[in-house]
Amino acid sequence: MQLNGKVAVVTGAGRGLGQAYAKALAAAGAAVVVNDLDGELADQTAADIRAAGGQAVGEHSAIGSTEAADAIVATAVREFGRLDVMVTNAGVLRDRSLLKMDDADFDVVVETHLRGTFTCARAAARQFKEQGGNGRLILIGSPAGQRASFGQTGYTASKAGIVGLVRTWAAELERSGSTVNAVIPVALTRMVATIPGMAELVEKADKGEPIPADVRAGGLGTADDVAPLVVFLASDEAAGVTGQAIGVGGDRIAIWSHPTEVAVESRAGGWSADAIAEAFPTAFQPHLQAFKPDTVPGAPEGK
């Protein structure tokens, strides 16, 4: 698949998943702005891309503010003449349970993930409009935004919000030919190394060793397994794909459903509390939804 002539921004691309996205987009022919708060990592990733024959520049803005988002888009236009793809990957973790989380930890996570997605997507969408549309917003979600993730209040709120934005922005940008999708990645990166049973697998991935087939089949692999979906969504071939949350990990790709009503009952004149209590066990209780994942995707059994 070729992205020749396209220009992409990837935020948080100095390592891990973001780096894999940036390198895959460049390998497909796109020119890439490699953003990372760690300027050394951003510049090294950009240098690696150039050494492999691609086009890339490093960019060091801290994701969150309007000024940072505008600067990143301006870099793409200044260096490569346009912008076609925005991948909002930058993130930070401050894992605390509800009772232990303070305002500062919550705010920094939401600032980077949710506000940063908003400001970068808005700046990109404005540039898309100047160019006549047909841009690509690829927003990075997480399984934590789809199901419960104990101890990740700010992260869960942000990632769930991002998927909500996908649907709204897809509707708003549809007429211009621009698409908006969320990627829900599961990969062996440093962010999952502290999960019980994951450290050994992360070490294998870091060393380039093969991931066990049963782990891959269960939906857990490397960052390089996720990157092809980003390349596809950036391409002309994905012009008809918008408003979706698409999971990817190891050997699996999955389409996440949109929220939908699963049980509906009507009562003339409305519902009293007593009427709800009477009807609930038979009309609604059987349809209550599981909210916790059974296991970490791809985790070895018993871990």
Q: Which residue reads 């460049």 in tokens?
A: 26
Say if residue 302's pLDDT is above 80. Answer: no
CA distances from 234 to 18, 24, 62, 160, 182 (A): 14, 11, 24, 22, 12
Say if residue 206's pLDDT is above 70. Answer: yes
pLDDT at 208: 86
pLDDT at 79: 99
Say if residue 37's pLDDT is above 70. Answer: yes
- DSSP E strand boundaries for the chain: 7-10, 31-35, 55-59, 85-88, 136-140, 179-185, 244-249, 252-255
Whether 121 contacts 86, CB under 8 Å = yes
pLDDT at 273: 98
Is 21 a residue of the active site?
Answer: no
Say if residue 301's pLDDT is above 90. Answer: no
- Among 21, 80, 128, 155, the one annotated catalytic: 155
- For 232, list phi and psi in degrees, rounded to 5: -60, -50
Q: What is the mean pLDDT of residues 152-180?
A: 96
pLDDT at 70: 98
pLDDT at 291: 86
Q: Which two tokens stand for residue 123?
A: 């700046």
Query: In this structure, what is the dihedral angle of CA atoms 212, 216, 222, 226, given to the nearest 10 degrees?
Result: 170
Total-model pTM: 0.92
Q: Which two tokens stand for residue 257?
A: 């459903």
Q: Left, alpha or beta for 151 (phi > 0: left; psi -120 to 50: alpha)?
A: left
Place 292 in a pLDDT band, splitting at 50, 70 and 90.
confident
Element (H, E) at 213: helix 213-217
Give 92's Cβ-side CA count (13 Å radius).
19
Place 296 in a pLDDT band, splitting at 50, 70 and 90.
low
pLDDT at 196: 67
Say if residue 97's pLDDT is above 80. Answer: yes
Say if residue 187's pLDDT is above 50. Answer: yes
- The span from the CA of 272 to the CA of 84, in Å, is 53
Place 19 in a pLDDT band, splitting at 50, 70 and 90.
very high
Say if residue 215's pLDDT is above 60. Answer: yes
Q: Which two tokens stand for residue 76?
A: 């793409």
Residue 133 CB partners (closer than 8 Å, separation 6+) = 173, 176, 177, 178
Say if residue 276's pLDDT is above 90. Answer: yes
Whether 156 contacts 144, CB under 8 Å = yes
DSSP 187: B
Say if residue 91's pLDDT is above 90. Answer: no
Q: Which residue reads 């070895």 in tokens?
A: 300
Place 300 in a pLDDT band, splitting at 50, 70 and 90.
very low
Mean model confidence pLDDT for the chain: 93
SS3 content of the chain, % helix, strand, coil (to 5): 45, 15, 40
pLDDT at 295: 54
The residue that leads in pLDDT, 302 or 101, is 101
pLDDT at 294: 60
Place 299 in a pLDDT band, splitting at 50, 70 and 90.
low
- The span from the CA of 18 to the CA of 83, in Å, is 18
Superfamily of domain 7-187+222-255: NAD(P)-binding Rossmann-like Domain (3.40.50.720)
- Going by C-alpha positions, the residue among 267, 257, 295 that lies closest to residue 148 is 295
- For 199, list phi and psi in degrees, rounded to 5: -55, -45
Say if residue 245's pLDDT is above 50. Answer: yes
pLDDT at 63: 97
Q: What is the mean pLDDT of residues 246-259?
A: 95
Cα angle for residues 68, 141, 186 (degrees, 5° grid): 125
What SS3 class is residue 215?
helix
Place 149 in a pLDDT band, splitting at 50, 70 and 90.
confident
- The span from the CA of 248 to the CA of 44, in Å, is 27
Residue 267 CA to its chain's centroid (Å) = 41
pLDDT at 281: 97
